């Protein structure tokens, strides 16, 4: 259905003349007495609706279904006609809901049976309907603005549904002529106007309604072209439920709807909560949800609808959901639904079940008896959709696994890290417009792309390509440096991270340098630190143009690292003292706390290392389509070789052997804390004494020792 088809604009013209106040002569029992209280009480006399009530509630039902299935772009204008035309709403989207219409109808009230019938006519309403069809809707306006000079290509078509009580066939012809004439006149007016549009096509649906038991004075007539612009059809319908049924049929025709009946819905009985019976619920939706049935011809139509509607309904069987598993179904279409009988208990049970977030798969009974899941009912944000699931054979059968393709043999992808990256780059709606500094509109999606660009400036894909991303100690810096702008606190954290790394280097802490592809034990410790500093520099340099604060982080990094180690040490010590002088006591304390935390983290790391190494053998075998390393940093060899064995020159067989034995042994016991923390294999005793005496002493102690 194209957006500017006849269904874009629907005008209801409902007769409000004195005759419409008459009873439809269909009784409604409203006083249903409960069994045990009926003794001696006569129920109140049944009442009956007026022709007006029947017309209004049937047209409201038409609108209800239309708004449920097409909440946008399908508009209704409601006009009531008596001695004049009362236009109850406008084409604007805000006016398009049942509450607005109901309130406006209540204000009009029922027709006054004592009004002068001579003054009243449906013609007032029909003229107003043509007038309103010439008025531009916001969607038409938008499309015209978009097309600029081709604005005339935006269509203006519409439909007038007129519910009245006509006197005869010639009366009907008179009404048609009037509409024809009015269109002609208004099109002339619209031709000379910027805010009116000429009517290109108008469908007039005249519904003559009369009390049950009376003879119709008007005959039915199928759609007929009265002029190139106007087609007209006449329906002669008894009031009451007949009128409602007719409008239900019309809404299906006008909006290309189809019906699906969900069968076998298990429901607790109202009276006996422990028993359950199976119910059926009929839903309306766009007919494209049946496209597969229509094309394949394998329609399994479950008899005609109970309402006796003109259209048949397709029956689908409820499949009780077993799990709340979140799955991505291959869905080829999703269509909004509207229950035919919205307030019935089975309908509201089904809709409430769905609105509470459950999805239901629907099974299509096939002639062959085989079962095929063809549809799914699911709600999204309070709207229920019928999803069409693909049930035919996939052309992508037996595709090669990703592990067999390019990059498929690589086993140390940073899967967990990239998962973290994806969570940080999740999207969220920004409904209020935001503006850039230059006043132009900021597009949130462009911001998302910018962020991805920043976050990926330096992003090694595999664990063995990186050192810094395998180090917990670098996280505080790596997580903030990618930001567009940094706070003072961020800068401070980055600096702290760098000092911490300097400290690690001074203590000669091992680094998680990869040994993949290298022989022996990999690079030496100072070489490892050089690699680490280089990598960190690459990361920080990638972001120095973000802001002046990023620049400051780089400056700090460059000041702290230096190529010759001795010089480095001196510089660092000097810098540290300087730093300390202007830092408050609190900052010192913070640093202390962080340091001790880091230490305990490191101990934890050591304890876990053994486990990791055991797991390593299995990880390597793991194929990359399920590469979920049990720990963030598994595939790295921690260089634990004591410096004494780090002899220069070629490695002797003895040292190779003892290395191997030592590594094997070290897995079997927990290393002494002293040896782990040792510098040049010398551990300092009674450290706690110095720590108790304060930072300065520790620092001096270490400095003097070196």
Partner 1 sequence: MDDYDKTCLESALVGVCNIVQQEWGGAIPCQVVLVTDGCLGIGRGSLRHSLATHSQRGESNRFPLPFPFPSKLYIMCMANLEELQSTDSLDCLERLIDLNNGEGQIFTIDGPLCLKNVQSMFGKLIDLAYTPFHAVLKCGHLTADVQVFPRPEPFVVDEEIDPIPKVINTDLEIVGFIDIADISSPPVLSRHLVLPIALNKEGDEVGTGITDDNEDENSANQIAGKIPNFCVLLHGSLKVEGMVAIVQLGPEWHGMLYSQADSKKKSNLMMSLFEPGPEPLPWLGKMAQLGPISDAKENPYGEDDNKSPFPLQPKNKRSYAQNVTVWIKPSGLQTDVQKILRNARKLPEKTQTFYKELNRLRKAALAFGFLDLLKGVADMLERECTLLPDTAHPDAAFQLTHAAQQLKLASTGTSEYAGYEHNITPLHTDFSGSSTERM
**What is each CA distance from 685 to 227, 299, 325, 677, 701, in whole angstroms?**
106, 87, 57, 11, 11
The nearer residue to partner 1, 330 or 672, going by C-beta atoms, is 330
Distance CA 165, CA 21 (A): 11
Q: Is there binding between residue 44 and partner 1 (CB under 8 A)?
A: yes
Determine phi and psi for 370, rounding to 5 degrees.
-75, 155
Binding to partner 1 (CB under 8 A) within 586-605 occurs at: none
Backbone angles phi, psi at 302, to 5 degrees: -85, 65
Tell me which residue of 559, 567, 583 sits closest to 499, measured CA to CA.
559
Residue (430 or 672) nearer to partner 1, CB: 430
* Distance in Å from the first CA to the final CA of the chain: 84
- 200: how many CB neighbours lie within 10 A of its CB? 14
> Which one of residues 110, 565, 574, 674 is an interface residue with partner 1 (CB under 8 A)?
110
Show contacts with partner 1 in window 475-504 (CB under 8 A).
483
Q: How far is the CB of 16 from partner 1 (least distance, A)?
A: 9
Our CA angle for 538, 541, 545, nearest 5°, is 155
Q: Residue 263 forms beta bridges with which residues?
A: 317
Taking the complex as a whole, the smallest distance from the CB of residue 486 to partner 1 amounts, in Å, to 13
Shortest distance (Å) from residue 529 CB to partner 1: 25
Does residue 546 sit in helix, strand or coil?
coil
**What phi and psi values does residue 451 have, to the nearest 5 degrees?**
-65, -40
- For partner 1, the closer of residues 331 and 492 by Cβ is 331
Contact code string over 568-587 relative to partner 1, x by CB under 8 A:
--------------------
Residue 361, strand partner residues? 319, 376
Q: How far is the CA of 225 from the CAs of 198, 201, 202, in angstroms?
A: 18, 11, 10
Closest CB 119 distance from partner 1, rounded Å: 19
Closest CB to partner 1 among residues 395, 685: 395
Single residue of 25, 90, 115, 155 touching partner 1 by CB under 8 A: 155
What are 459's two structure tokens? 């992003």
What contacts 57, CB < 8 A, 6 or more positions away?
Answer: 49, 244
647, 516 in Cβ contact below 8 A?
no
d(CA 662, CA 654): 12
Query: Which residue in the set 148, 273, 406, 664 belongs to the binding site for partner 1 (CB under 8 A)?
Result: 406
Q: Select from 42-50, 530-538, 600-608, 654-662 the region that touches partner 1 (CB under 8 A).
A: 42-50
One of 31, 185, 527, 601 touching partner 1 (CB under 8 A)? 31
Least separation in angstroms between CB 511 and partner 1: 21
**Could you give the CA distance from residue 93 to residue 140 in angstroms, rounded to a whole number?**
12
Tell me the C-alpha distance between 545 and 353, whole Å.
Answer: 53
DSSP track, 96-119: -SHHHHHHHHHHH-S--TTS-TTT
Near partner 1 in 78-97, by CB under 8 A: 97
* CB of 305 vs partner 1, minimal distance in Å: 14
Q: Shortest gap between Cβ of 42 and partner 1 (angstroms)?
A: 10
Cα 577 from chain centroid? 54
**617 lies in the site for partner 1, by CB under 8 A:** no
Report, in Å, the least distance between residue 635 CB and partner 1. 13
Considering only residues 1 through 20, tell me which ones interact with partner 1, judged by CB under 8 A.
Answer: 2-4
Among 19, 52, 139, 469, binds partner 1 (CB under 8 A): 52
Window 364 to 393, contacts with partner 1 (CB under 8 A) = 376, 378, 380-384, 387-388, 390-393
Nearer to partner 1, 52 or 469 (CB): 52
Q: Does 242 sit near partner 1 (CB under 8 A)? A: no
Nearest residue (CB) to partner 1, 80 versus 218: 80
Residues 312-341 that bind partner 1 (CB under 8 A): 326-334, 336, 338-339, 341
Burial 530-539 (b: 16+ CB within 10 A, else e): bbbbebbeeb
d(CA 347, CA 339): 7
**Site membership for partner 1, residue 241 (CB under 8 A):** yes
Instruction: Retrieve residue 362's tokens.
Output: 């629907």
What SS3 string covers 284-340?
Answer: EEEHHHHHHHHHHCCCCEEEECCCCCCCEEEEEEEECCCCCCCCCCCEEEEEEEEEC
Look at the block and give the residue holding tokens 């009674």: 686
Report 196-225 residues binding partner 1 (CB under 8 A): none
Residues 619-638 close enough to bind partner 1 by CB under 8 A: 623-628
Report d(CA 573, CA 588) in Å as an integer: 15
Q: Which stretch binds partner 1 (CB under 8 A): 25-33, 363-371, 548-556, 583-591?
A: 25-33
Q: 4 Cβ partners below 8 Å, 6+ apart?
A: 139, 140, 143, 154, 155, 156, 157
Span 410-469, contacts to partner 1 by CB under 8 A: 410, 413-416, 418-419, 421-431, 443-445, 447-449, 451-457, 459, 461-462, 465
CB of 352 to partner 1, least distance (A): 8
Whole-number minimum distance, CB 687 to partner 1, in Å? 37
Q: Which CB atom, from 180 or from 348, has the smaller least distance to partner 1? A: 348
Instruction: Output 76 or 560, the one with its CB closest to partner 1.
Output: 76
Q: Which of residues 124-153 bind partner 1 (CB under 8 A)?
A: 143, 147, 150, 153
Q: How big is the site for partner 1, counted in residues (CB under 8 A)?
A: 139
Least CB distance to partner 1 at residue 108 (A): 8
Is 105 an interacting residue with respect to partner 1 (CB under 8 A)?
yes
CB of 640 to partner 1, least distance (A): 28
- How far apart CA 513 and CA 539 sit, in angstroms, is 17
Span from 24-32, 267-275, 654-662, 673-681 in contact with partner 1 (CB under 8 A): 24-32
Are 302 and 263 contacting, i.e. CB atoms less than 8 angstroms apart? yes
The yes or no reply on residue 615 touching partner 1 (CB under 8 A) is no
CB of 625 to partner 1, least distance (A): 5
Q: Is residue 409 a contact residue for partner 1 (CB under 8 A)?
A: yes
Find the radius of gyration of the CA atoms of the chain: 40
SS (H, E, C) 33-48: CCHHHCCCCCCCCCEE
Question: Which CB, 354 or 513, lies closer to partner 1?
Answer: 354
Smallest distance from partner 1 to CB 507, Å: 33
Nearest to partner 1 of 425, 596 (CB atom): 425
Identify residues 56-75 at the interface with partner 1 (CB under 8 A).
Answer: 56-58, 60-61, 64, 67-68, 71
Per CB under 8 A, contacts with partner 1 among 665-684 are none
Enumerate residues 277-296 that contact partner 1 by CB under 8 A: 291-292, 295-296
């Amino acid at each position: 259905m194209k957006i500017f088809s006849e269904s874009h604009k629907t005008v209801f013209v409902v007769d409000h003349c004195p005759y419409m106040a008459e009873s439809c002569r269909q009784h409604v029992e409203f006083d249903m007495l409960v069994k045990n209280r009926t003794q001696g009480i006569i129920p109140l006399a049944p009442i009956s609706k007026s022709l007006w009530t029947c017309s209004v509630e049937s047209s409201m039902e038409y609108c209800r279904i239309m708004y449920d299935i097409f909440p946008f772009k399908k508009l209704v204008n409601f006009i009531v006609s008596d001695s004049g035309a009362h236009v109850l709403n406008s084409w604007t989207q805000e006016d398009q809901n049942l509450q607005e219409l109901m309130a406006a109808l209540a204000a009009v009230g029922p027709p006054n049976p004592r009004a002068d019938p001579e003054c009243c006519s449906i013609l007032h309403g029909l003229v107003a309907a043509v007038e309103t069809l010439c008025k531009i809707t916001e969607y038409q306006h938008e499309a015209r603005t978009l097309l600029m000079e081709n604005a005339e290509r935006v269509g203006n078509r519409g439909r007038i549904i007129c519910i009245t009580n006509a006197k005869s066939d010639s009366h009907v012809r008179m009404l048609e002529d009037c509409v024809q004439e009015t269109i002609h006149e208004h099109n002339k007016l619209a031709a000379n106007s910027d805010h009116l549009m000429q009517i290109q096509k108008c469908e007039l649906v005249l519904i003559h309604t009369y009390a049950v038991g009376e003879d119709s004075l008007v005959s039915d007539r199928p759609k007929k072209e009265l002029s190139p612009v106007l087609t007209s059809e006449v329906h002669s319908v008894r009031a009451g439920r007949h009128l409602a049924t007719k409008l239900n049929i019309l809404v299906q025709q006008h909006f290309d709807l189809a019906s699906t009946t969900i069968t076998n819905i298990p429901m607790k009985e109202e009276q006996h909560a422990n028993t359950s019976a199976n119910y059926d619920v009929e839903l309306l939706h766009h007919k494209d949800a049946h496209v597969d049935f229509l094309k394949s011809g394998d329609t399994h139509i479950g008899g005609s609808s109970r309402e006796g509607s003109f259209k048949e309904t397709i029956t689908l069987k409820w499949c009780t959901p077993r799990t709340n598993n979140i799955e991505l179904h291959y869905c080829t279409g999703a269509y909004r639904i509207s229950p035919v009988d919205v307030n019935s208990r089975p309908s509201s049970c089904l809709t409430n079940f769905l609105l509470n977030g459950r999805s239901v798969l629907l099974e299509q009974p096939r002639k062959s008896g085989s079962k095929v899941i063809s549809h799914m009912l699911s709600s999204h944000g309070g709207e229920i959709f019928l999803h069409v699931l693909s049930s035919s054979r996939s052309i992508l059968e037996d595709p090669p696994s990703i592990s067999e393709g390019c990059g498929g043999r690589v086993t140390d992808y940073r899967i967990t890290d990239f998962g973290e990256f994806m969570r940080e780059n999740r999207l969220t709606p920004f409904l209020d417009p935001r503006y850039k500094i230059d006043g132009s509109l900021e597009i949130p999606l462009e911001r998302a792309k910018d962020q991805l660009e920043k976050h990926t400036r330096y992003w090694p894909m595999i664990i063995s390509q990186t050192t810094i991303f395998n180090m917990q100690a670098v996280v505080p810096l790596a997580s903030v440096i990618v930001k567009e702008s940094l706070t003072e606190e961020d800068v401070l954290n980055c600096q702290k991270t760098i000092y911490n790394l300097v400290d690690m280097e001074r203590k000669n802490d091992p680094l998680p340098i990869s040994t993949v592809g290298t022989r022996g034990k990999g690079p030496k410790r100072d070489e490892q630190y050089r690699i680490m500093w280089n990598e960190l520099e690459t990361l920080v340099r990638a972001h120095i143009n973000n802001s002046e604060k990023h620049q400051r982080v780089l400056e700090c990094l460059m000041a702290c690292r230096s190529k010759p180690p001795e010089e480095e040490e001196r510089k660092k010590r000097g810098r540290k003292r300087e730093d300390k002088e202007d830092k408050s006591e609190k900052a010192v304390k913070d640093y202390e706390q962080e340091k001790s935390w880091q230490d305990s983290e490191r101990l934890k790391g050591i304890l876990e290392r053994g486990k990791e190494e055991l797991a390593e053998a299995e990880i390597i075998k793991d194929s990359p389509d399920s590469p979920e390393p049990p720990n963030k940093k598994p595939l790295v060899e921690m260089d634990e070789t004591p410096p004494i064995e780090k002899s220069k020159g070629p490695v002797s067989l003895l040292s190779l052997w003892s290395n191997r034995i030592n590594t094997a042994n070290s897995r079997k016991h927990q290393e002494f804390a002293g040896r782990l923390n040792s510098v040049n294999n010398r551990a300092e005793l009674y450290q706690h004494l110095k720590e108790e005496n304060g930072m300065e002493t520790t620092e001096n102690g270490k400095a003097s020792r070196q």
